[in-house]
Structure 1
């Protein structure tokens, strides 16, 4: 077959295969065009899940009549004019492919009017065949009608799903848009009936928009994140670890206002939650990442679902450390939102400080005399230091000099710590505590396990990762790419405890391994670390494996069920929980405490009715 130029209609239909996957793709492209035109209200009318009709009306700036034919021609756009514009693009749409692609596989109509135009204009396109511009009454803004999607491409149409399924995809995309553009009013109708409305004129961090999109349960569990460094800014919400999902259905990432999927950022978030999330569960979050547009390439996917960062390693590290520190601040009994993810914001004071809460000065607690000898002795043996020295102070499990400054005032006007004061032990498992506004129930084993685990991690971090030389160096066969990574990242590997040299195009010599993990499968661990370094620029495998071992040690050292505690011991445990990072969850992600407000307890007994 000879080489020949494809007709324009076929070219547009091929492009439609990349841009227009289903009705939700059409809604996305048209609504993004409306937002780029400055619209503050967008009406979306749908029939049969968008297959029969998609009508998008907006109150944006409008299109001049003479530019309507250009709008439905390939690679015609008002948003970029040079390579510099493309490299720093800030609009949602910019490729000039969406309208001609959609028009080539539907019965298409484009009507618009600018503020100063005497009347509106309309242009019809039927399966890619462009009509003529005609006058038409129209308010300021633009209306796009897409009827009978894929009517002329039956092979594509038969792959569309049921009406309810296609509508669900549209609603999910609109939910994602509503989270990032609370200033825009979105009205949706389906088959002639109003189905959803997102109000406009709201702030990005308004609780109303969060409840509107993801529900009250997510909003109640949401922690604010706000951090900026190195020309990067990350803000938004992460749900507390106790609010987790079976799937990744509540994970929203926006880069410079564009909803995207990025494996590197998703990996960083997953790693940040690894120490507090129950196995097999997924975190929930809405995160906005902002950076210079020239540092991110948004032109790597036809539908603009993905981006490519020029500093992917820096981005991964920034997201991980921001969220890791934010989650570290989720102590048991902590109230309110998390405004900044910085350990420097933590409350510190000496026992003699006048800023110490009155309840802490008036009722000092003795240390919790629980047996943790096995864990501490095991740790000391690994690092050759006496237990007290390895832990960093005289008693690794002694209570801190004070608790966080979240004290509340009870009915008598006395200051009460966040987790209150212990009143009893239930079935040898739970501690019952009276708080300022109700009752606290603590799982004493889970809580003590987290306290011990955090102390062991702190002690190990102070020592650093030690390398244990192998008696017999081990040859490791790898791919050439893995060998390249090992050679280029030799310093990083050394920091992680590996002594590795390249001995050939596809071979490495392993001479030393992390001391704490020397008895595990270090060859497999090395391969995983190399894979992480190749894909994400850094690896947390060694830390993860170390934490798993320390978690086991802390679990063995924690107080067991049916151990009878005195009130002083119970209160000491509560004070340590209030001061320990991540103490809201045990090492396995289970909650360590629960709060029952007095008003809820009153409802149990119908008081006040």
Structure 2
């Protein structure tokens, strides 16, 4: 009989393997211990680390504490006070519930816990080294729990060598503790790194103040409140103005029922809501809490509880997307989000004008002798171009975009008066609340993008009297055939007329026939380069390109009436402060900014 090759692992080895799932790095330990402190009803949580958490971690809270019996049970695997049976997994309301955190941490470190119930006289001290209990005794201590972790991975050197530098590990700890602080603004959080306080929140229950404690009070002035309900789902929190950017998602915190999670779905909804407001390498600040009934989510899908599963992802996506769009486009005047010019102070600090103002509308400067063709009704920019060219006031510099019907918008109280043009590129305008400089190309891009995007159906198309025949390589041919409906929604009707030849019957009305081939190949490039693009992704990218191609260019001379028409249409758009690529379209100098420039303060 052959010897058995299957063996049952001893408890110590099993704990170390389990620790690999829960304890990835020092930040993982901080997350588990702080979540336990939150579940214990703590109002003050202090975290102290040394050498990025690899040498020393101490988490102190003023929560409910534990008895000696519970303290000894807490370091055993699968010991938990959060659930009683499998049925409880469908309605978990606490952050911790697996019963793996403390034994996993204790198995790969020198671990100790001091805990005392509020009505107890003495605390309990338990010491564990490498998963083996070495001491249990009574001790003095404050009400609550203190957990100390020393020499992380001292008995698993293979794991230790994969840790990053102390500075990098400290950064991860700061990031996760900051997110936990935002998830519970009613709790005071402090982080001490090598004896220096690097994070502190007020714990007054106000999320905006918690944000200020983490990122500074300047950030707190550039955030917008979110409060949106869809069916049984509520989305609340804050998002940053489009001018408040980071080069990564470091400032994005997603919560589900106050649980910090990672979610590509929510990140995608956020990106799409900002899709035409940000540059490609910019990410907005966001702290979003999604309140959803516990029976509609599954939190037991990840060892570190950092991901959850939604029963209806599409509903979650729509709720987050519409919550942010509503804030950016409806509840706040777009002018409040326009970029302000930073003015250098004598003390070398920068300040930004904060005065709220409505999105301005343009009116013409009063001419001493109005042209004979002057009309009182508002003119669109293409119409004004045509009138002026007919009067031979300005030579044509290219094809005039076809104008579309423009929805009526209410006129705000503040107005802009065009003053002139700089370098045939920037329009200078005066408003009641300051001086504006407008990038004429970016402004016209926004106008055309909004006009093209108004229709939620197919992009307006023109039928060709004489079809165009275009050739593609075999790979491109397959993409066109597979995505025929996408091309149709973008305004292109193509029929296969040969092995790799297509007959173009219809094309968007905003581009000329000479640009059709280039436009089609740009769409093919988008389909090839974007990872699993949605129809909205392709439409947005195409509209960006189409608007850029048709917009008035930098270097094109405009007269006062053309400037007035351009500003009027820009101010009638829903998001006039950026072009579709996220670059600023207008910059404002507030009166106080001008005073600082001329040292009048």
Q: Is the contact between residue 72 and residue 126 of structure 2 (CA under 8 Å) also seen in structure 1?
A: yes
Q: Is the contact between residue 458 and residue 488 of structure 2 (CA under 8 Å) also seen in structure 1?
A: no
Q: Matched residues in 2 for 1:227 and 1:316: separation?
A: 13
Q: Matched residues in 2 for 1:129 and 1:514: separation?
A: 76
1:584 paired with 2:577, answer: yes
Q: Is the contact between residue 497 and residue 512 of structure 1 (CA under 8 Å) also seen in structure 2?
A: no
Q: Deviations over 1:373-392 (max 9, x none)?
A: 999xxxxxxxxxxxx9x965
1:58 paired with 2:61, answer: yes
Alignment-derived partner of residue 411 in structure 2: 403
Alignment-derived partner of residue 367 in structure 1: 378
- For residues 401 and 134 of structure 1, do their structure 2 counterparts lie closer, same or farther at Cα, with a shift above 3 Å needed? closer
Q: Deviations over 1:455-500 (max 9, x none)?
A: 2322x4366688999999x9x999xxx9xxx9xx999999899999
1:142 paired with 2:145, answer: yes
Secondary structure of the corresponding residue to residue 284 of structure 2: coil
Alignment-derived partner of residue 98 in structure 2: 95
Alignment-derived partner of residue 48 in structure 2: 45
Alignment-derived partner of residue 258 in structure 2: 257
Q: Deviations over 1:346-369 (max 9, x none)?
A: xxxxxxxxxxx9999x99975346
Q: Within 5 A, what are the aligned runs for 1:300-379?
A: 300-329=301-330, 332-334=334-336, 367-368=378-379, 370-371=381-382
- For residues 369 and 114 of structure 1, do their structure 2 counterparts lie closer, same or farther at Cα, with a shift above 3 Å needed? closer
Alignment-derived partner of residue 108 in structure 1: 111
Q: How far apart are 1:35 and its partner, in Å? A: 0.4
Q: Is the contact between residue 331 and residue 579 of structure 1 (CA under 8 Å) also seen in structure 2?
A: no
- For residues 23 and 424 of structure 1, do their structure 2 counterparts lie closer, same or farther at Cα, with a shift above 3 Å needed? same
Q: How far apart are 1:88 and its partner, in Å? A: 1.9
Q: Matched residues in 1 for 2:321 and 2:220: separation?
A: 22
- For residues 578 and 315 of structure 1, do their structure 2 counterparts lie closer, same or farther at Cα, with a shift above 3 Å needed? same
Alignment-derived partner of residue 456 in structure 2: 461
Q: Matched residues in 2 for 1:431 and 1:470: separation?
A: 40
- For residues 586 and 499 of structure 1, do their structure 2 counterparts lie closer, same or farther at Cα, with a shift above 3 Å needed? closer
1:432 paired with 2:425, answer: no
Q: How far apart are 1:127 and its partner, in Å? A: 1.1
Q: Matched residues in 2 for 1:64 and 1:439: separation?
A: 67
The equivalent position to 1:604 in structure 2, one of 592, 597, 600, is 597
Q: Matched residues in 1 for 2:221 and 2:565: separation?
A: 29
Q: Is the contact between residue 242 and residue 589 of structure 1 (CA under 8 Å) also seen in structure 2?
A: no
Secondary structure of the corresponding residue to residue 25 of structure 1: helix
Q: Matched residues in 2 for 1:262 and 1:437: separation?
A: 41
Q: Matched residues in 2 for 1:369 and 1:25: separation?
A: 58
Q: Matched residues in 2 for 1:421 and 1:313: separation?
A: 46
CA RMSD of superposed structures (Å): 4.2
- For residues 401 and 13 of structure 1, do their structure 2 counterparts lie closer, same or farther at Cα, with a shift above 3 Å needed? closer
Q: Deviations over 1:514-549 (max 9, x none)?
A: 9659972678877899945xxxxx642442354235
- For residues 165 and 452 of structure 1, do their structure 2 counterparts lie closer, same or farther at Cα, with a shift above 3 Å needed? closer
Q: Matched residues in 2 for 1:245 and 1:218: separation?
A: 12
Q: Is the contact between residue 331 and residue 580 of structure 1 (CA under 8 Å) also seen in structure 2?
A: no
Q: Matched residues in 2 for 1:495 and 1:290: separation?
A: 36
Q: Matched residues in 2 for 1:477 and 1:602: separation?
A: 61
Q: Is the contact between residue 331 and residue 584 of structure 1 (CA under 8 Å) also seen in structure 2?
A: no
The equivalent position to 2:126 in structure 1, one of 123, 126, 132, is 123
Alignment-derived partner of residue 27 in structure 1: 30
What is the TM-score when the length of structure 2 is the normalising length?
A: 0.77
Q: Deviations over 1:257-290 (max 9, x none)?
A: 1221112222222223222222333333222222
Alignment-derived partner of residue 380 in structure 1: none
Q: Matched residues in 2 for 1:219 and 1:189: separation?
A: 23
- For residues 78 and 492 of structure 1, do their structure 2 counterparts lie closer, same or farther at Cα, with a shift above 3 Å needed? farther
Alignment-derived partner of residue 396 in structure 2: none
Q: How far apart are 1:17 and its partner, in Å? A: 0.8
Alignment-derived partner of residue 520 in structure 1: 520
Alignment-derived partner of residue 379 in structure 1: none
1:221 paired with 2:222, answer: yes
Q: Deviations over 1:227-268 (max 9, x none)?
A: 111222222222233333333322221122122111222222
Q: How far apart are 1:19 and its partner, in Å? A: 0.8
**Any stretches of 5+ residues in structure 2 without a counterpart?**
339-359, 367-374, 387-399, 495-501, 509-515
Q: How far apart are 1:424 and its partner, in Å? A: 3.8
The equivalent position to 2:183 in structure 1, one of 131, 155, 180, is 180
How many residues get paired?
534
- For residues 138 and 470 of structure 1, do their structure 2 counterparts lie closer, same or farther at Cα, with a shift above 3 Å needed? farther
Q: Matched residues in 2 for 1:450 and 1:432: separation?
A: 18
What is the TM-score when the length of structure 1 is the normalising length?
A: 0.76
- For residues 255 and 446 of structure 1, do their structure 2 counterparts lie closer, same or farther at Cα, with a shift above 3 Å needed? same
Q: Within 5 A, what are the aligned runs for 1:65-76?
A: 65-76=68-79
Q: Matched residues in 1 for 2:462 and 2:135: separation?
A: 76
1:441 paired with 2:431, answer: no
- For residues 218 and 561 of structure 1, do their structure 2 counterparts lie closer, same or farther at Cα, with a shift above 3 Å needed? farther
Q: How far apart are 1:594 and its partner, in Å? A: 1.1
